[in-house]
């Protein structure tokens, strides 16, 4: 069993449009000098922070792969930029691409043995766009409950909403019409949606998810600007986002997975499977958006991801 080593740090991050000094918080589980590629893990939200993904710290314990978690700019333990709330020109994909490049360079991960990347939800959207640039050092890619296109994601959400009880659908529609998202009927409907499609853990919310919920509620800057006022009402800067045209440029082995009941619906996964040259897609039965936190799936997902990241690549002769 690999010894558990933990290192925390802050990578200075210079943003051209901001005078103040900014930084990206990171946490390393394991030893970067182990000789195996570390796994850089990107969280969702945007704005959820890394803690709910600590399940993947066991990639070090079980497979000897160091794991690099980080909090994206604007949330959790990284620099907060609340004065940028609502600034649609600022909160764009490119900001997070720049931050990711900066972190990788700060940790000197581009040299041998390189690094793997695992992105969950929005982190997977970022990861697909990042991988399409064919960055130096990237070895393998995992897209966990990600989305290839926001328009497809919206269609998927509509399909899930149509399965909800009529009174709950009505509550959602009335809240959106009035732009009022604090009413008890709306919150009841949202809770139903979360328990069925976001995290299907028997005890909801699981302890592992609480930090993400706290991060998202305490500072809404990033989530509100990029996603919208509610998980079911998307009108932020990601509303027209797509990576579909860039997918054929991904040149590393890629694992795509989602859950059977995932908010990241199958229709938003199909472009990954059809357009990424070397790809495998798994849908986990009975899983939700946070299936890595759900009973009966956590260990299975760790095994699938760990074996994918450590398998020897077959080279054509």
Which residues are marked as active site? Answer: 121, 262, 289
The 3-state secondary structure of the chain reads: CCCCCEEEEEEEECCCCCCCCEEEEEEEECCCCCCCCCEEEECCCCCCCCHHHHHHHHHHHHHCCCEEEECCCCCCCCCCCHHHCCCCCCCCHHHHHHHHHHHHHHCCCCCCCCEEEEEECHHHHHHHHHHHCCCCCEEEEEEECCCCEHHHHHHHHHHHHCCCCHHHHHHHHHHHHHCCCCCHHHHHHHHHHHHHHHCCCCCCCCHHHHHHHHHHHHCCHHHHHHCCCECCECCCCCCCCECHHHHHHCCCCEEEEEECCCCCCHHHCHHHHHHCCCEEEEEECCCCCCHHHCCCCHHHHHHHHHHHHHCCCCCCC
* Length of the chain (residues): 317
Q: What angle do CA 215, 217, 218 make, to 5 degrees?
A: 70
Q: Which of 298, 208, 289, 302 minimizes the C-alpha distance to 255? A: 302
Q: Which of 268, 15, 299, 316 minimizes the C-alpha distance to 147? A: 268
């Amino acid at each position: 069993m690999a010894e558990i080593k933990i290192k925390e740090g802050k990578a200075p991050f210079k943003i051209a449009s901001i005078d103040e000094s900014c930084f990206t918080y990171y946490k390393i589980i394991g030893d970067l000098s182990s000789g195996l590629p570390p796994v850089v893990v990107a969280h969702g939200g945007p704005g959820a922070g890394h803690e709910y993904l600590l399940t993947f710290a066991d990639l070090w314990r079980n497979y000897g792969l160091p794991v690099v978690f980080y909090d994206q700019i604007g949330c959790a333990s990284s620099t907060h930029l609340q004065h940028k709330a609502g600034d649609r020109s600022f909160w764009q994909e490119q900001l997070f691409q720049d931050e990711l490049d900066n972190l990788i360079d700060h940790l000197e991960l581009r040299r041998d043995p390189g690094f793997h990347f695992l992105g969950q939800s929005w982190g997977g959207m970022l990861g697909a766009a990042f991988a399409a640039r064919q960055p130096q050092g990237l070895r393998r890619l995992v897209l966990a409950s990600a989305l290839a296109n926001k328009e497809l994601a919206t269609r998927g959400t509509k399909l899930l909403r149509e399965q909800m009880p009529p009174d709950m659908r009505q509550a959602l529609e009335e809240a959106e019409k009035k732009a009022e998202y604090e009413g008890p009927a709306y919150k009841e409907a949202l809770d139903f949606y979360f328990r069925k499609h976001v995290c299907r853990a028997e005890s909801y919310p699981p302890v592992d998810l609480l930090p993400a919920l706290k991060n998202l509620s305490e500072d809404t800057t990033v989530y509100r600007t990029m996603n919208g006022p509610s998980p079911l009402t998307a009108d932020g800067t990601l509303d027209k986002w797509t990576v579909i045209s860039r997918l054929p440029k991904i040149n590393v082995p890629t694992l795509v997975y989602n859950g059977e009941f995932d908010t990241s619906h199958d229709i938003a996964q199909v472009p990954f499977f059809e357009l990424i040259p070397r790809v495998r897609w798994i849908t986990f039965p009975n899983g939700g958006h946070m299936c890595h936190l759900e009973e009966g799936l956590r260990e299975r997902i760790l095994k699938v991801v760990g074996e994918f990241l450590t398998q020897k690549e077959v080279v054509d002769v």
